[in-house]
């Protein structure tokens, strides 16, 4: 067995193979000089900090099982202290780009929910408009019942699927909203999670991404609601001293360092079409002129890198078309450490979101290593624009922005780490590789095996896509596909159910009744609300024309 890619997905696949059958010989080929893929750690003093994937949700069970098996320690956010209830987060959205503060709460959507001394009528109306557009997106979201192939969901008419995949999120929002701040808060979320602007992704892809996160509704996805009531009070957490340890410990404890070869970028994968699974007729060739002969191959590399590989026989046309249209997002991550949590002294939570500054999103992550820490991202066009400057200029811009918000203490961090993922060879961006406009029709082909070649990676997962948990999920699926051909006796009924679930429309049975109830419920309100508004407007005009003379000053 050969696994191409020593990121989290490839190593999870190798782990699953070895767990099911320890006698299997598994070789992992990695193009770069390290394992971990889109998880990597940097050090400040004697502490390690995440510069890539970091947070884990309680719902990420397969990932948590690996973390537990490896004996890694997790770090949970501290329980809020008495004074923390009054902490404020800072926002910068809208055409004017004014910096404002609002109450800190788990909800990432930060437009004011009610009028107040510091809340203008426009900001309040923007919140109402946000609720309106989320309501409309919720209705569209209910049509998507099959996360393995959203375009062909049985509840989604083909014409509507085509329309949703043919329009960008930005174009759709511009047709239905007027407040720039509403578009900004949605774009900030997308830049953070996907690394792209709203004009780069289709509306169908955004709705599908929410479905892949197992969200009950688009409202739940956007507002960060837990997908399971069992985990309602559990916040996201991380690995103490960095998530890259997951990959490093998988190599040490399970796979074996002698079975992982670094600096071996693969250039060609070829196989004989008439071969059987029991024959070693697959050849993997690297750019270092090494050739490996094996039974099966798992490719666990990003789609933008996968398309550079030469396959013989070639990939099917639908997969080649999809891969050629996929683009990697653009993300820069930074970590700042300080002597004290100075921001809390001034009643700030350390949270900051912005559409126009050199910071897209930032939060307090002091709990990871018990060191006062601010962690932030630049995503989408913000990251592209700042990639033109060197790291020193970006550092100055970030610190200057924070000094404007928090004060001069922000200019004196004890440590700074910056990682521009666009400069990462063999990955070339982050956080996820997304399909082009109008290509979701072929998205299911991305996980389809090509003879003895199988595919993994967070983009290939039908669950928690774009996260570390998605990478593990895809790695497990690819491993079960291989074992089904090589060692079917090692698989359980649970493994086969998992495999079937990853390739079929099993999800739809549960979703159909819910979606139908949801659609009928909101269909009534779709009629009633405009009718009531029209009736009120008509009544006001009649009163004005009939009794308006009573209000003319004499």
Dump pLDDT digits (tens) for 373-404.
999 999 999 999 999 999 999 999 999 999 99
Q: Which fold has domain 2-39+241-328+431-504?
A: FAD/NAD(P)-binding domain (3.50.50)
Q: Reduce the DSSP state of residue 433 to 3 states and report it.
A: strand
Neighbours of 220 (CB within 10 A): 18
Residue that is written with structure tokens 């979703």 in the block:
511
| pLDDT of 541 over the 90 cut | no
Phi, psi of 60 (to 5 degrees): -80, 65
- Do residues 307 and 436 touch, judged by C-beta distance below 8 A? no
- Do residues 222 and 186 touch, judged by C-beta distance below 8 A? yes
As a whole-number percent, the residues of the chain with pLDDT over 70 amount to: 86
Q: Reduce the DSSP state of residue 74 to 3 states and report it.
A: strand
Dump pLDDT digits (tens) for 162-171.
999 999 999 9
**In which band, very low, low, confident or very high, does the pLDDT at 300 lie, cut at 50, 70 and 90?**
very high
CATH architecture observed for domain 72-98+236-240+330-430 = Alpha-Beta Complex (3.90)
**Nearest-angstrom CA–CA distance, 445 and 149:** 9
Beta bridge partners of 136: none
Average pLDDT, integer, range 19-37: 96
Dump pLDDT digits (tens) for 411-461.
999 999 999 999 999 999 989 999 999 999 999 999 999 999 999 999 999
**67 Cβ contact partners less than 8 Å away, ≥ 6 residues apart:** 56, 74, 239, 246
Helix (H) or strand (E) segment spanning residue 390: none
Closest CA to 16 of 65, 73, 56: 65
pLDDT at 504: 61
**In which band, very low, low, confident or very high, does the pLDDT at 513 lie, cut at 50, 70 and 90?**
very low
**In which band, very low, low, confident or very high, does the pLDDT at 299 lie, cut at 50, 70 and 90?**
very high
| pLDDT of 310 over the 50 cut | yes
pTM of the model: 0.89
pLDDT at 521: 40
- Do residues 332 and 290 touch, judged by C-beta distance below 8 A? no
| pLDDT of 554 over the 70 cut | no
**Nearest-angstrom CA–CA distance, 28 and 195:** 28
CA 229, 231, 235, 238: dihedral to nearest 10 degrees? -150
Q: Is 166 exposed, middle or buried (0-12, 13-18, 19+ CB in 10 A)?
A: middle
Average pLDDT, integer, range 115-120: 50
Beta bridge partners of 373: 337
Dump pLDDT digits (tens) for 47-64.
999 999 999 999 999 999
87-102 as b/e, with b when 16 or more CB fall inside 10 Å?
Answer: bbbbbbbbeeeeebbb
pLDDT at 274: 67
Phi, psi of 378 (to 5 degrees): -115, 130
Dump pLDDT digits (tens) for 192-216.
999 999 999 999 999 999 999 999 9
Terminal-to-terminal C-alpha distance of the chain? 94
Average pLDDT, integer, range 348-358: 91
**Nearest-angstrom CA–CA distance, 215 and 444:** 20
- Do residues 382 and 191 touch, judged by C-beta distance below 8 A? yes
Question: Taking phi first (over 0 means left), then psi (-120 to 50 degrees means alpha), and beta for anything else, what does residue 170 get?
Answer: alpha
| pLDDT of 144 over the 90 cut | yes
Delimit the domains of the chain by residue range.
Answer: 2-39+241-328+431-504, 72-98+236-240+330-430
Average pLDDT of the chain to the nearest whole number:
88
């Amino acid at each position: 067995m050969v696994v191409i890619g020593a990121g989290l997905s490839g190593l999870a696949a190798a782990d699953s193979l070895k767990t099911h059958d320890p006698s299997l010989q598994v070789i992992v080929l990695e193009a770069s000089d390290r394992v971990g893929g889109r998880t990597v750690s940097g050090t400040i003093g004697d502490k390690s900090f995440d510069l890539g994937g970091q947070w884990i949700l309680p719902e990420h069970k397969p990932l948590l099982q690996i973390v537990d098996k490896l004996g890694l320690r997790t770090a949970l956010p501290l329980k809020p202290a008495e004074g923390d209830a009054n902490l404020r987060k800072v926002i910068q959205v809208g055409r004017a780009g004014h910096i404002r503060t609002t109450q800190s709460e788990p909800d990432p959507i930060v437009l004011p929910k009610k009028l107040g001394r510091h809340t203008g009528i426009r900001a309040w109306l923007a919140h109402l408009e946000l609720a309106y557009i989320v309501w409309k997106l919720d209705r569209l979201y209910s049509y998507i019942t099959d996360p393995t192939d959203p375009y062909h969901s049985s509840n989604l008419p083909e014409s509507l699927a085509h329309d949703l995949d043919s329009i960008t999120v930005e174009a759709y929002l511009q047709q239905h909203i007027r407040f720039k701040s509403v578009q900004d808060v949605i774009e900030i979320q997308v830049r953070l999670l996907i690394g792209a602007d709203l004009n780069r992704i289709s509306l169908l892809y955004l709705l599908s991404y929410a479905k892949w996160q197992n969200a009950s509704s688009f409202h739940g996805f956007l507002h960060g609601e837990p997908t399971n009531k069992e985990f309602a009070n559990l916040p996201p957490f991380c690995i103490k001293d960095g998530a890259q340890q997951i990959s490093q410990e998988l190599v040490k404890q399970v796979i074996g360092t002698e079975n992982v070869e670094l600096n071996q970028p693969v250039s060609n994968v070829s196989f004989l079409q008439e071969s059987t699974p029991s024959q070693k007729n697959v050849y993997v060739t690297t750019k270092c002129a090494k050739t490996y002969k094996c039974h099966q191959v798992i490719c666990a590399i990003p789609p933008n890198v996968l398309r550079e590989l030469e396959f013989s026989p070639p990939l099917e046309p639908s997969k080649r078309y999809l891969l050629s249209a996929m683009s990697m997002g653009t993300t820069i991550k930074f970590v700042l450490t300080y002597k004290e949590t100075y921001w809390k002294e001034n009643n700030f939570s350390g949270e900051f979101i912005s559409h126009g500054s050199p910071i897209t999103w930032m939060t307090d992550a002091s709990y990871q290593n018990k060191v006062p820490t601010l962690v932030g991202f630049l995503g989408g066009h913000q990251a592209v624009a700042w990639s033109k400057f060197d790291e020193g200029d970006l550092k100055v811009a970030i610190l200057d922005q924070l000094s404007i918000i928090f004060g001069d203490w922000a200019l004196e961090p004890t440590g700074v780490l910056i990682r521009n993922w666009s400069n990462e060879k063999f990955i070339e961006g982050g956080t996820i590789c997304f399909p082009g406009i109008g290509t979701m029709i072929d998205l299911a082909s991305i996980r389809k095996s090509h003879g003895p070649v199988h595919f993994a990676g967070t983009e290939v997962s039908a669950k928690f896509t774009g996260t570390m948990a998605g990478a593990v999920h895809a790695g497990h699926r690819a491993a079960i596909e291989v074992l089904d051909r090589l060692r079917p006796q090692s698989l359980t009924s649970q493994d086969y159910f998992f495999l079937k679930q990853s390739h079929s429309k099993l999800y739809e049975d549960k979703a159909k009744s819910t979606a139908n109830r949801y659609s009928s419920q909101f269909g009534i309100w779709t009629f009633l609300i405009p009718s009531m508004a029209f009736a009120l407007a008509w009544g006001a005009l009649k009163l004005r024309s009939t009794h308006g003379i009573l209000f003319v000053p004499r």
